[in-house]
Amino acid sequence: MKWEIAKLGKIAIIRTGKLDSNAAVIGGRYPFFTCDPNTLSIDVWAYDTEAVLLAGNNASGNYTAKYYKGKFNAYQRTYIIESANEEELNIRYLCYALNQQLRLLKMMSSGSTTKFLTVRMLDNLDIPLFGINIQTQIVNILSAYDDLIENNQKQIKLLEEAAQRIYKEWFVDLRFPGHENTKIVDGVPEEWNWCKLEDAIQLDPKVTLTKERMKQFIPMSALSTSSMVLDESQFTETTSNSRPDRHTKEEVSYVITCAIGSTIGVLHKWSRDNFNLAPEVIADILSEVFLSGMLPLLS
């Protein structure tokens, strides 16, 4: 089996969408690809092609790569990647190859508060390239599993919707089994009681954990915006009682020293160059030094 390593920019055409993310429409006719893990919808299409849709930015650097064929639209920071030659590159194969490189893309991405990918990064990304027949065989095998996963996800969604309907019918509309023979008192079934939420559950309970005990850390990025399911792949284990990536005071002091030194260096060069750059440019440079160096350690 022969294969080679090819640069993505040599075998694919890379462009971006044009719209803002707020252009999404609930229940729209066409898919709208943004940097959100969930595909949104829109009523107007701008592209009719077969492509990989790669999220171009993400707060945690957790990007998604999706395959789609047909009419769609895209956010301005979403990359639309098409095959430059369909006889050499199967675009669905490329989607599988890119999904295997998402961890690398996370490491390569720039930015502090929000991670982002650049065209230059993508152009220079190494892609294992087999012959077109082998690519097609790989796609045929993996796509069968994709279909199974998609069907299971649809079933899960139907079950979640059914659970929500049952909850509303039983606990909001009070049409639970046997409701015909149940007396309603003060808006609730007899023997039920009203109470404040704080009396029924503990919000952020204070539990003392020994430092030596292994415990799970759940970052905000593991919380779903569309369901009650947590992304366990982002869980980490730690014996520390603080955030796992918390740095020591000594480490922070070195970063502060570095930031001060770099600030002085920037200002010194600016003066030596007769202030040829606008103050706004220098301010942006110093802000980037702070955001990329100090802020992650102080947050």
Local structure of residue 19 (DSSP, 8 states): B
Of 240, 244, 234, 249, the residue nearest 298 (C-alpha): 249
Site of tokens 């060069």: 269
Residue 49: predicted pLDDT: 97
Predicted pLDDT of residue 210 = 72
For the chain, how big is the Rg over CA atoms in Å?
Answer: 26
**What SS3 state is found at 37?**
coil
Give the residues across from 72 on adjacent strands. 47
CB 266 within 8 A of CB 289: yes
| pLDDT in 10s for each residue of the chain, 299 residues | 678 999 999 999 999 999 998 999 999 999 999 999 899 999 999 999 999 999 998 888 889 999 999 999 999 999 999 999 999 999 999 999 999 888 888 888 877 777 889 999 999 999 999 999 999 999 999 988 888 888 888 888 888 889 889 989 988 888 888 888 888 888 888 888 888 888 888 777 677 777 677 777 777 777 776 666 777 777 877 766 555 555 555 665 666 666 666 666 666 666 667 666 666 566 666 666 555 555 555 44
In the DSSP assignment, the letter for residue 248 is: P
Q: Which CA distances in Å does 254 have to 41, 202, 248, 249, 261?
A: 47, 40, 10, 9, 11
Name the token pair of 180: 């015909």
The span from the CA of 1 to the CA of 21, in Å, is 43
Residues 131-146 as b or e (16 or more Cβ within 10 Å = b)? eeeebeebbeeeeeee
Kind of pairing, strands 65-74 and 40-42? unpaired
Which residue from 115, 1, 3, 101 is spatially nearest to 52, judged by alpha carbons? 101
Dist CA 234 CA 231 (whole Å): 6
Token output for 122: 């993508």
Q: What whole-number distance in Å separates Cα of residue 184 and Cα of residue 181? A: 10
Q: Using alpha carbons, list the distances in angstroms from residue 168 to 24, 76, 229.
A: 28, 39, 20
CA terminus-to-terminus distance, the chain: 50
The CA–CA distances, whole Å, from 35 to 20, 69, 82 equal 11, 18, 18
Model pTM score: 0.59
Residue 284 is predicted with a pLDDT of 63
Paired tokens of 282: 């220098």
Question: What span, in angstroms and rounded, lies between the C-alpha atoms of 129 and 124?
Answer: 14
Please give the pLDDT value at position 271: 66
From CA 24, how far away is CA 78, in angstroms rounded?
A: 14
